[in-house]
Amino acid sequence: MSFLESLAARASASNSLLCVGLDSDSQKLPSHLPAKNRVLAFNKAIIDTTADLVCAYKINSAFYESEGSAGIEQLKQTCDYIKSNYPDLPIILDYKRGDIGNTNDGYVRFAFDYLGADAVTVNPYLGAEALKPFLDRADKGIIILCLTSNPGAGEFQNLEVNGKKLYEVVAEKVKSDWNNNHNCLLVVGATRPEELAKLRQLMGENFVFLVPGIGAQGGDIKATVKAGINKSGQGIIINSSREIIFASSDRDFDGASRIRALKTRDEINEAREN
């Protein structure tokens, strides 16, 4: 089963378009957690309490790489834990890699063959030739940065190129040339619903967007859903990280995360129905 097939199946089974980001910054973890493998312990608790509410988990590799070998090992153990206990839940590695082809070969092996991720985020700047090792993995989701939610995104993404915005050029290139294996998605930030609606029109009903930026970054759930959803009530993966996983630093942090995840999932579904 391809990533997009497993994602659609999971979204239907869980009645959820919510993706929880395991951006488990070791500096923000509850103090009562044990010193050894505390990121893994935190992740397990968050996963166990939210698994029935989500369509995927997104793991940002930076928070694990910053901890050196211990962080990488806990990243691997987190992926293994999801695969062993919730095998129908896709794992997105927020990786944002994009380099020359032989370098990307190494990134591909780490993400897919070592960690077992089902999808990765990539940077389009070096073009399709460089990304070929990713794009050739037809069973995996390749999520291309298009229009991100950070305040400075427009510095390049909104530049005019032959009468179009650069982000539109990227989207059109993905649609026309890069998606031969039907495994491409786009990252479009929740803080830009008007552009998201434009991209939905451009990319068509069957295309899927990863939409970060609700919660701590200020994206509006209702506006995001209305702009990005397709006629089948799917087509978007709405990610929330800090607002859910750091809902509390007390001993009941996992319970607080569940409450926040449930509220977010229900707000998304309410917007889908209205």
Cα gap 192→195, rounded to integer Å: 6
Q: State yes or no: is 96 an active-site residue.
A: yes
> Which one of the listed residues 44, 76, 96, 173 is annotated catalytic?
96
Cα gap 99→36, rounded to integer Å: 34
Which residues pair with residue 20 across a beta bridge? 57, 240
Cα gap 5→27, rounded to integer Å: 36
Can you list the pairs that 147-155 forms with residues at least 24 positions away whose Cβ atoms lie under 8 Å?
A: 147/186, 147/187, 147/188, 147/189, 147/192, 147/195, 147/196, 147/199, 148/187, 148/189, 148/212, 149/189, 149/190, 149/191, 149/192, 149/212, 149/213, 149/217, 149/219, 150/189, 153/189, 153/192
Cα gap 54→70, rounded to integer Å: 27
Backbone angles phi, psi at 163, to 5 degrees: 80, 5
Helix (H, G, I), strand (E, B) or coil at 87: coil
Percent helix, strand and coil across the chain, each to the nearest 5: 50, 15, 30
Ramachandran quadrant class, 257 (left: phi over 0; alpha: psi -120 to 50; beta: rest): alpha
Query: Of 15, 21, 13, 7, which Cα lies nearest the Cα of 239?
Result: 21
Cα gap 231→253, rounded to integer Å: 37
Catalytic residues: 96
